[in-house]
Amino acid sequence: MVSKRVDVAVIGGGVHGCSTAYHLAKKGFKTALFERDYISSGSSGRSAAGLRYQFGTEVNIRLAQYNMKCLKSLGEDLHYPGDLEYDPAGYLWIAYSESQLAQLEKNVKLQNELGTTGSKVLTVKGIQEVAPFLNTEGMLGASFNQEDGHINPHTLCFAYADAAKALGVEINKKITVTGLISKGGQVAGIHTNKGDWEADAVVCCAGAWTQNIGRWVDLDIPVIPERHQILITEPVERMKHPMTLCLDDGSYWKQCPNGTFMLGVGKEEVKDTSFYASWDYLEAATERILPKMPILEHIRVVRQWTGPYGNTPDFQAIVGATPVEGFYIDCGWSGHGLQFAPSVGRIMAEIVNGEKPFIDVSMFRYSRFEEGDLFFEPACI
């Protein structure tokens, strides 16, 4: 079979893959994207799709500022005819201990200093004002930003994929990448179940599945998959309620624009990429959330699904070049990656193009694990 030729091959049709492909095409690279199933079928489409300014390190706050600015008008900017359901309903991080509250205060202070003026610390009374349905028992305070919110993760992926396609990117769905082509120690393309593609560079945006791909070039990329689950209720009329995260048990919930509530909880989970849900998660999430949000007592859960996180030792991403020339990775975003697609897609294109990234992301470098220079983000769950 005659192999095809592109400048860059992107592995993974999640939001990072789609955004990276779009930004590569904008720079004039002949790009092909490969997705094993359909666009958004992996962790992206399964994510809770929270969007926030509220981070606790300079790099993440700066990236978040760029993300949030882009996401506000992304549908128009990408000429996407559908609805991204961008919904700035606010995002509430609730502290149940003094140390949690102190950390939230520190985060907000840093956000304010770096120009995110919308973030603030709330007292319990303040919490009641922005989220009147909460039972505030046990809560000590919270951080809040009214401009945070959520988005539809599927249409977000489609918008980037369609925009990439409009710029000439080959979007290959239902094609499985089966190997990497190596030439002289350098990655020179990909093998798939539908033939080979030669490429000068390969960008791996395979999320929780990245480790398998790294093995083809003898890289032990420390991204461990971890199952996460989500529950969806029947729809009800919209209520005044921001996206809410409780730091005591990692329980979170939000109301989507169609009226359904999305619920989740922090829980010890299996370390694999399985898509099978468990009943004990259903019970744990509802048992934890109901006392905090008693108005949900009569609402019915109608769906439950899973999507894996890709966790690194410090729960922060790996972004950029690898020891293997021509092989770039953008992965390991644990549970907060979706919203970083605008900034990191652009940065990946800049890195492949040999430019200096518009925001310094060197702390996300691949070599940090070897160097023992782990990077901790306090606003990460």
Q: Catalog residues that contact other proteins under the rule CB under 8 A.
A: 132-133, 234-237, 239-240, 259, 276-279, 282, 294-300, 304
Q: What values do phi and psi take at 254, rounded to 5?
A: -150, 160
Least distance from other proteins to the Cβ atom of residue 343, Å: 35
| Cβ pair 139, 95 in contact under 8 A | yes
State which residue, 70 or 92, has the beta carbon closest to other proteins: 92
Q: Tell me if 202 sits within 8 A of 9, measured CB to CB.
A: yes
Smallest separation (angstroms) from other proteins to the CB of 293:
10
Neighbour tally for 263: CB within 10 Å: 26
Q: What's the min distance (Å) between Cβ of 235 and other proteins? A: 5
Would you say 241 or 368 has its CB closer to other proteins? Answer: 241
- Provide the strand spans (E) within the chain: 4-11, 31-34, 50-51, 91-95, 119-122, 141-145, 149-150, 170-172, 177-183, 186-192, 195-204, 224-233, 243-246, 252-255, 261-264, 301-311, 318-321, 327-331
Q: Could you please report the per-residue DSSP string of 236-254?
A: ----S--EEEETTT--EEE
CA separation for the pair 122, 92 (Å, rounded): 9
Query: Between 128 and 186, whose beta carbon lies closer to other proteins?
Result: 128
CB of 204 to other proteins, least distance (A): 28
Nearest to 11 by CA among 25, 31, 30: 31
Q: What angle do CA 180, 333, 328 make, to 5 degrees?
A: 30
Rounded CA gap, 253 and 232, in Å?
10
Between 46 and 346, name the residue whose CB sits nearer to other proteins. 46
CB nearer other proteins, residue 124 or residue 277: 277
- Nearest approach in angstroms of CB 353 to other proteins is 43
Our CB check for other proteins shows the closer of 23 and 36 to be 36
Contact 355, 240 (CB under 8 A): no
Kindly state the smallest distance separating residue 257's Cβ from other proteins, in Å. Answer: 12
DSSP classification of residue 324: S
Contacts of 41 (CB under 8 A, 6+ apart): 13, 35
Closer Cβ to other proteins, 297 or 371, answer by number? 297
